[in-house]
């Protein structure tokens, strides 16, 4: 290379003014500060994101756990409500129950030792019974005992539904009444 034929297109170094040098130094420092600040902010935001994301995952898992617990409890709640409803029905039934021991004592007094063929009670607490006695006198005695119990207000609305006299002298009676319990 021949120095005479070389052309230098680059500017020769010129000295910068001292204010520009100070300004350049401040710009370098400022760029480092901005870089460190940006890195710190991104690190802070990244750590915050990771923490919030883990808390969100924990909250979602807790939510699922509580939803399943509530779902399990709702089955128990349904069962408890059903039991409560059934208990209220049972309370009504028990409250409407009458003391049938008194009615059975009344029936025993009316029968006077005669055998009972059939016995039933309907929804209106009406007692229906079928009796076979072996003579007309026993049938009259049975009717007298029913009349006595009616006068003592132990039974109401006695009705002789059927009366059949057999060839052997037996009498079949079908009687309906309502005991006052």
Q: Tell me the three state secondary structure of residue 137.
A: helix
Centre a 10 Å sphere on the Cβ of residue 19 and count the other Cβ atoms it contains. 8
Dihedral (C-alpha) 75, 79, 84, 86: value to the nearest 10 degrees?
Answer: 150
**Contact of 173 with 130, CB cutoff 8 Å:** yes
Tell me the whole-structure pTM to 2 decimals: 0.46
Name the percent of the chain in helix, strand, coil, to the closest 5. Answer: 60, 20, 25
Is domain 100-179 classified as CATH 3.30.930? no
**Contact of 133 with 170, CB cutoff 8 Å:** yes
- pLDDT at res. 23: 86
Indicate whether 165 pLDDT > 70. Answer: yes
The whole-number average pLDDT for the span 24-39 is 92
pLDDT in tens, 34-54: 999 999 999 999 999 999 999
* 105-126: b (≥16 Cβ within 10 Å) or e: ebbeebeeebeeeeeeeeeeee
- pLDDT at res. 4: 63
Six-digit token pair at 78?
Answer: 């349904």
């Amino acid at each position: 290379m021949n120095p005479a034929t070389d052309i230098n297109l680059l500017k020769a170094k010129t000295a910068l003014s001292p204010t520009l040098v100070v300004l350049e130094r401040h710009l370098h420092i400022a760029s480092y500060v901005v870089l460190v600040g940006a890195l710190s902010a991104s690190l802070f935001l990244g750590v915050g994101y990771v923490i919030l994301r883990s808390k969100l995952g924990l909250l979602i898992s807790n939510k699922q756990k509580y939803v399943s617990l509530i779902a399990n409890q709702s089955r128990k709640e349904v069962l408890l409500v059903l039991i409560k409803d059934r208990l209220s029905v049972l309370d009504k039934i028990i409250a409407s129950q009458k003391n049938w021991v008194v009615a059975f004592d009344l029936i025993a007094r009316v029968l006077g030792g005669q055998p009972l063929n059939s016995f039933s009670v309907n929804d209106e607490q009406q007692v229906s019974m079928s009796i076979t006695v072996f003579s007309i006198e026993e049938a009259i005695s049975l009717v007298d005992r029913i009349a006595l119990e009616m006068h003592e207000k132990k039974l109401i609305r006695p009705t002789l539904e059927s009366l059949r006299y057999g060839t052997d002298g037996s009498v079949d009676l079908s009687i309906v009444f309502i005991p006052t319990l």
